[in-house]
Chain A
Amino acid sequence: MKFSLITPCQNEELPQLLALRHNLLAQTTTDFEWVIALNEPLNLTSADWQVPFAVRQVTFHGATVGAARNAAMAAASGDWLVFVDSDDYLTADALATLAAITPFPAETFGDLYQYPTYEPHTSFVASSAQTAVQDNLPKWGGAKRRQPKNRAVNLSTAMLGQLTPGLTVTPTADNWLQHKYVSLAGDSRWNQFNRQLKITGKVVNRQLVQDHHLAFDETNALYPDYPFLTQVMAHTNRYVRLANPTYIRVKHNDPVNQPSVHQLVVADRWQQRIASWQASLAAITAPDLHLAFSRYCLYRLHRFLYMALATGATAEDPSVTDVPGLMVQLQAFLRLVDETALDEVSLLSRRILKHIRQHATCPQRAVDRIVHLRQLGRVIKHRGRGVTRLSYMWWFTKLPLKPNTILYESFLGRNFSDSPKAVYNYLQTTYPGQFKHVWISNPGVTGMPTGQPNTKVVKRFGWRYMYYLATAKFQVINMRQPKWFVKRPGTKFLATWHGTPLKHLVFDMDNVASANPLYKQIFFQQSRQWDYLVTANQFSVDVFEHAFMYPVAKMLKSGYPRNDILSAPGRDTRARQIKEKLGIPLDKKIILYAPTWRDDDYYGVGDYKFTLKLDINRLKRELGDEYVLVLRTHYFITEHLDTTGFGDFVYNESSYDDIAELYLISDVLITDYSSVFFDYAILKRPILYFVYDYEKYGSVLRGFYLDMEKDLPGPLLKTNDDVLDALHHLPQVTQDYAAAYDRFSQRFNAWEDGHATQRVVEAFFDADDLK
């Protein structure tokens, strides 16, 4: 048996263990056994487990991953131990590539070359199935600058025949040319030290482990690997890493529900880390390894400890508790550290470490100073960018609150619209002069309420923005606040959100491969700062409860303030005013076309994303006498769209601030997978769904909360013929879908009675605030 794969597994990780089994079945060699350390019984005799390689299960005492690995190592019978975690996976040629390397002496420390990703195995398998390429890897999940860009090319033996006859290539070199790897030995032995100190994907000789009684630390739940790995390093003379990545390490993007060991919130994380370093360092006798490991540890202290110790350290690292105890522990550790390594640390940092080593106390002022200098250094490095934010953190958040100031933001400052606008208008009308209103705007945005009484418009991320963000007592925001926003005591935050959810949100998403991998965690932290969340219907309440993990008690079951205009008594007069403002003839009916932006689609040559699939020429020809078309699309589509030939038939209102006003003037809506139809349905006017790529959109539709086939209040139309036919026979369509429309309205618009804003304002503001 060549390899023994060592996989520790907790009971709740069983599904990912099954995914790994599926992955191992794809290996191009079967000369390995799989030793699983799991305390829950596995039925290895069942059909699922009849695999072409040996599988063994071992149980272990205690609950630490170190104990699990030790138990599995003791049961292994292969020549080489390969450490594979249950949530990770291997490329199909991983073990075969490793086996092909000769010679591979026992004193070699092997590495399958770890490649971090956020893409789980199932998703990678699905994407690999669509391509013929052999070198496919999942989406990179590490730091951008570290992404391996180049792949080594192995050579064929035929090439050697082209060299001068008689030239001798040693068998080892010949083997290497065909199976390239990177070897670190001699002076370069401790290069890539950080990489060498990660257990997953490592390959160690089993006899070597037995001979030297090497084991993981079973008492340290978080850091059991350091003592084992440093001893393996001490007993090997060469580190061999495959030239191309073959070990895919899956990082967890949901630290709230599915934290990895490194993401667990543990009070004594730093204590455990230092204890592990200390035990490892004490056991190292070789001076060069001692120096290298000292450097490794000191760099981590220098890089991460001060931020955690600084006064006012926030969510970055909440795990430093018992600072005096940690200092005593650090003192003992720093006494073991190589003096040369300590002298290499930068001056300010070295002073702190030496202080701790001498006095076992935390030099708080020095720690705060180094943290502040780093923050300032970052601003200087970016040539002043971020200086307003720094001022916010350092000074503005220390100023007293302004009790009557309200800060509004709609779509990240892109326009004056949505529910914050409705709340603003209501307060201005009902409580004039009682509040000071501050609107956030991006540079160049028009339509902001500049010049209105008691109203200021401030530039997003500017000085005044930071000042009001820190001091305004009330914040009304329809998307998310900045990640670094500090929720001060006494302030109130109203999250109005911006629509009934159609596509899966945050915690309901399977995989967030394209967004920030920490999206879920960041969203969770941000939504904890919301005092109230406005909801439009019971459906939204139910969805937000699991998708945002937001408490129902803090949701306002009010309906959307932005939609009050659609039920207001004077809506017809208002519609006429808007039509006049836009220059649309009053005698023409209006079709509103609002498709979604398909940002991930490429249809083929000459058929680009921004092609409008609706046949405007035909619409004009057949309906031009009776209708006009108002377009509301992504700006990228409309910028490239030539509407000159359509005369006064097409009105491009994609940059019009308030979409609710466009609903009001239109007589029929054509849309597809956009959530605009929830709001439009309040008007009880016909809705058509032009879904020309419905089949192609299948995978996306699976991520919807609604069943597009059953739940919609209008017909799904796949061709322009269908659309025109429906437009020609609108009364019939309305009649056909009357029952579905009623059901839909009942489900989604039951709360929209034109008084949502009032309910929101009365719930959000205390009676004292409104007096």
Chain B
Amino acid sequence: MHVFINIVPQATLDWECLSTLIGELTNQHFAAASFNLHLNAPQKLTPTQQKQAQDWQLTINQLQLPLAPQNYLINLRETDHVLPGALQQWAQVTAQHPGSPISLAAFDAHQPLHDQIAAYVVDHQEAALQQTYRQLASDSLDNPDEQLLTLWSLQNYSVQTNLQSVRHLTQRIRPTGILLPTELLNPTLPLASAAQAFAVLRQSPDVVRLHVPTLQRAMWVEATPIAWLNELEKIDVEQLDVMWQPVYQAYFQRQLNALLKSIDRKQLTKEDHTELLARIKQNTTRPLHHWSRLRLLQLLSPRVAHQLFY
């Protein structure tokens, strides 16, 4: 198994974040991994940065994906974090169940990692695996390393065949944070896109879910709502197979609701927010729940909605 890690800037490239992420990746000493930075046209690296990239063996817009089986691509944003041991855990799972996309659980980027690991370990203290490990462990759980080991002790995966479950699509359709088998990639779609992840999902017989987080990242819907809506809109419902059309439409409406819920955190300008509301309103299809935000939005103009919601 070889993992191609494609780093996609969230907006303008944050070099400091990128350095951190590359550090987290190289510290894992995982030989079968290569890194690429996907830079959009106006963005360029300074000579110092280029030199640094060379030292990291980070290629720029030169992702070569050989069509060998059992290779995987994962798109990450430079603001994401990779937990220690993540690559080895991915490798263990792909060795057991090759050829399927792997959906990864993640911690939230807005809270300290240490607190989240501690809370996770406490939440799962009744799990048989953790209980067995605690019988054998030498150190107490106050030690951060011991917490990490306990987190690893819990690691497990499931093979899910309910591909058309609307509830699970949030885990399975996203441009970043999913391990995609390279032989299932669609060359006509951008590598880091919801459309690509969705295309891979539709071709795959099952999806593997790695349940214990190996990443820390922000949700697209929260971090970059406009980009997320763009991604969703790029999926052409008309081109989908009959069986997938209603599934995707239901998922799309759910995401519109999720967007409405998440964009009242004041990270958008007034213009952006109003425009986003207008687009959400335009994309909403009936029937709607009586007491949903989407329903309320239908009764208001985006401008009034902005003043009410923001």
A interface residues with partner B (beta carbon < 8 Å): 132-135, 149-156, 158-159, 161-164, 167-170, 172-173, 176-177, 180-183, 185, 188, 243, 605-606, 608, 610, 640
A interface footprint on B153-180 (CB within 8 Å = 1, 0 otherwise): 1011111000000000000000000000
- Beyond A135-B159, A156-B91, A159-B84, whether A173 also contacts B96 by CB under 8 A is no
When C-beta atoms are compared, the residue in chain B nearest to A180 turns out to be B129
- Beyond A163-B149, A608-B242, whether A170 also contacts B138 by CB under 8 A is yes
Please state if B156 and A182 are interface contacts (CB–CB under 8 Å). Answer: no
Q: Name the B residues within 8 Å of A176 (CB-CB).
A: 132-133, 136, 153
Residue contacts A-B, CB under 8 angstroms, 8 given? A132-B98, A153-B156, A155-B85, A155-B155, A163-B84, A173-B137, A180-B132, A605-B241
Please state if A156 and B92 are interface contacts (CB–CB under 8 Å). Answer: yes
Please state if A605 and B203 are interface contacts (CB–CB under 8 Å). Answer: yes
When C-beta atoms are compared, the residue in chain A nearest to B95 turns out to be A134
- Beyond A153-B157, A155-B155, whether A134 also contacts B97 by CB under 8 A is yes
Interface residues of B in 67-122 (CB under 8 A from A): 84-85, 88-89, 91-93, 95-99
Please state if B131 and A173 are interface contacts (CB–CB under 8 Å). Answer: no
The answer to whether B49 has its CB under 8 Å from any CB of chain A is no
CB distance from A587 to the nearest CB of B (A): 36
Please state if B96 and A150 are interface contacts (CB–CB under 8 Å). Answer: no
CB distance from B204 to the nearest CB of A (A): 10
When C-beta atoms are compared, the residue in chain B nearest to A150 turns out to be B156
- Beyond A150-B157, A162-B85, whether A605 also contacts B132 by CB under 8 A is no
The answer to whether B64 has its CB under 8 Å from any CB of chain A is no
Q: Name the B residues within 8 Å of A608 (CB-CB).
A: 241-243
- Beyond A133-B99, A134-B96, whether A163 also contacts B148 by CB under 8 A is yes
Pick the contact of B133 from A161, A164, A173 — CB < 8 Å?
Answer: A173
Q: Name the A residues within 8 Å of B211 (CB-CB).
A: 150
- Beyond A162-B84, A163-B145, A605-B202, whether A151 also contacts B135 by CB under 8 A is no
Please state if B132 and A183 are interface contacts (CB–CB under 8 Å). Answer: yes
Bound CA–CA A180/B130 (angstroms)? 10
- Beyond A167-B145, A183-B132, whether A158 also contacts B202 by CB under 8 A is no
- Beyond A164-B145, A170-B138, A605-B202, whether A152 also contacts B156 by CB under 8 A is yes
When C-beta atoms are compared, the residue in chain A nearest to B134 turns out to be A173
Bound CA–CA A132/B99 (angstroms)? 8
When C-beta atoms are compared, the residue in chain B nearest to A159 turns out to be B85
Q: Name the B residues within 8 Å of A185 (CB-CB).
A: 135
Bound CA–CA A169/B153 (angstroms)? 13
CB distance from A638 to the nearest CB of B (A): 13
Size bin of chain B's contact surface: 35 or more
Bound CA–CA A152/B157 (angstroms)? 7
Bound CA–CA A170/B153 (angstroms)? 14
Q: Name the A residues within 8 Å of B133 (CB-CB).
A: 173, 176-177
CB distance from B38 to the nearest CB of A (A): 26
Bound CA–CA A172/B138 (angstroms)? 10
Please state if A149 and B138 are interface contacts (CB–CB under 8 Å). Answer: no
Q: Is the interface of A mostly helix, strand, loop or mixed?
A: loop
Number of A-B contacts (CB under 8 A): 108
Pick the contact of A177 from B93, B96, B153, B203 — CB < 8 Å?
Answer: B153
Q: Name the A residues within 8 Å of B152 (CB-CB).
A: 155, 159, 177
CB distance from B178 to the nearest CB of A (A): 17
Please state if A177 and B132 are interface contacts (CB–CB under 8 Å). Answer: no
CB distance from A184 to the nearest CB of B (A): 8
Bound CA–CA A745/B156 (angstroms)? 60
Query: What 3 A-B pairs are tightest by C-beta distance, nearest first?
Result: A159-B85, A150-B156, A153-B155
Q: Name the B residues within 8 Å of A164 (CB-CB).
A: 145
Please state if B95 and A173 are interface contacts (CB–CB under 8 Å). Answer: no
CB distance from A594 to the nearest CB of B (A): 22
When C-beta atoms are compared, the residue in chain A nearest to B202 turns out to be A605
Pick the contact of A133 from B84, B97, B242 — CB < 8 Å?
Answer: B97
CB distance from B155 to the nearest CB of A (A): 4
When C-beta atoms are compared, the residue in chain A nearest to B209 turns out to be A150
Bound CA–CA A251/B203 (angstroms)? 34
Bound CA–CA A153/B241 (angstroms)? 35
When C-beta atoms are compared, the residue in chain A nearest to B132 turns out to be A183
Q: Name the A residues within 8 Å of B138 (CB-CB).
A: 168-170, 173
- Beyond A153-B93, A162-B85, whether A169 also contacts B149 by CB under 8 A is yes
The answer to whether B20 has its CB under 8 Å from any CB of chain A is no
- Beyond A185-B135, A605-B202, whether A133 also contacts B98 by CB under 8 A is yes
Which residue among A162, A170, A176, A605 has the maximum number of chain B CB atoms within 10 Å of its CB? Answer: A162
Bound CA–CA A153/B89 (angstroms)? 7
CB distance from B108 to the nearest CB of A (A): 22
Q: Name the B residues within 8 Å of A156 (CB-CB).
A: 88, 91-92
Please state if A153 and B92 are interface contacts (CB–CB under 8 Å). Answer: yes
Bound CA–CA A181/B130 (angstroms)? 10
Q: Name the B residues within 8 Å of A640 (CB-CB).
A: 242
Q: Name the A residues within 8 Å of B137 (CB-CB).
A: 170, 173
- Beyond A133-B99, A172-B136, whether A151 also contacts B242 by CB under 8 A is no
The answer to whether B262 has its CB under 8 Å from any CB of chain A is no
Bound CA–CA A153/B133 (angstroms)? 13
Bound CA–CA A608/B241 (angstroms)? 8
Please state if A182 and B149 are interface contacts (CB–CB under 8 Å). Answer: no
Q: Name the B residues within 8 Å of A182 (CB-CB).
A: 128-129, 132
Bound CA–CA A163/B148 (angstroms)? 9
Bound CA–CA A154/B155 (angstroms)? 8
CB distance from A449 to the nearest CB of B (A): 37
Q: Name the A residues within 8 Å of B128 (CB-CB).
A: 182
A interface footprint on B180-218 (CB within 8 Å = 1, 0 otherwise): 000000000000000000000011000000110000000
